[in-house]
Structure 1
Amino acid sequence: MPPEHKVTLRPVVGLTEHLSKRDLEQITIQAIKRHRSLRDAAESKYEEWRKAPPSSGCDTVGPARIAYVSAMIDMHAQQTLLSTLLDVLGHVPLVPAD
């Protein structure tokens, strides 16, 4: 994505600009772990939606699809936060697999 279209959470930049690299790295690692957790939850909700019977009402996509879409929104919001933290930190810290 070209830099002019990159989403940066300015409040996060402001909150973290005076933190030490060690503290910022710790926060970034927590954000990476949270993103992984949200990704896993979204994948689980996707599988539940795919296995759910079709919604009988024409005015809703059904609770399984709504749960999946909500999980994806949470994951993408966290990704935006994580991208901002990585930009401020300047590198991707090593995070062991769970």
Structure 2
Amino acid sequence: MGNDTNCAVQPGHKVTLRPVVGLTEHLPKRDLEQITIQAIRTHRRLRDAAEAKYEEWRKAPPVSGCDTVGPDRIAYVSAMLDMHAQQTLLSTLLNVLGHVPLVPAD
């Protein structure tokens, strides 16, 4: 991951998405804060969706056979991947912004 030209591993193993830094580092703080707030809301929505998919997977009947983990677990894993990708974007935005903006609960 550290050799990828679009990401950099910083001290403490933080991943920074360089394209996001390049696109946002010269924006006015007010504009960057709006973008970051939207990213926080998106992350919350994806987190809630992943939690719902987890519950669906846990309640689903066991899958017979060993060629698949089943559609419910696949949906859960996909939701978690979306959430973690958004978290990486959000972390980068927060690093560029320099603070965590207040975002009321939806």
Q: What is the TM-score of this pair, normalised by structure 1?
A: 0.96
Q: Give the counterpart letter for 2:40 in structure 1.
A: I
- 1:5 corresponds in structure 2 to 13
| Residue segments in structure 2 that go unaligned for 5+ positions in a row | 1-9
- 1:49 corresponds in structure 2 to 57
Distance in 2 of aligned mates of 1:22 and 1:60: 47
Q: Give the counterpart letter for 1:62 in structure 2.
A: G
How far does the alpha carbon of each residue in 1:42-68 deviate from its partner, in whole angstroms, 9 at most, with x for none?
Answer: 000000000000111211000000000
Number of aligned positions between the proteins: 97
| Residue segments in structure 1 that go unaligned for 5+ positions in a row | none
Greater per-residue strand proportion: 2
How far does the alpha carbon of each residue in 1:69-89 deviate from its partner, in whole angstroms, 9 at most, with x for none?
Answer: 000000000000000000000
Q: What is the TM-score of this pair, normalised by structure 2?
A: 0.89
Higher relative contact order (CA 8 A, sep 6+): 1
Greater per-residue helix proportion: 1
> Residue 85 of structure 1: which of 89, 93, 100 is its match?
93
- Quick one: percent identity of the two aligned structures? 89
Task: Give me the CA root mean square deviation.
Answer: 1.0
Q: Give the counterpart letter for 1:8 in structure 2.
A: T
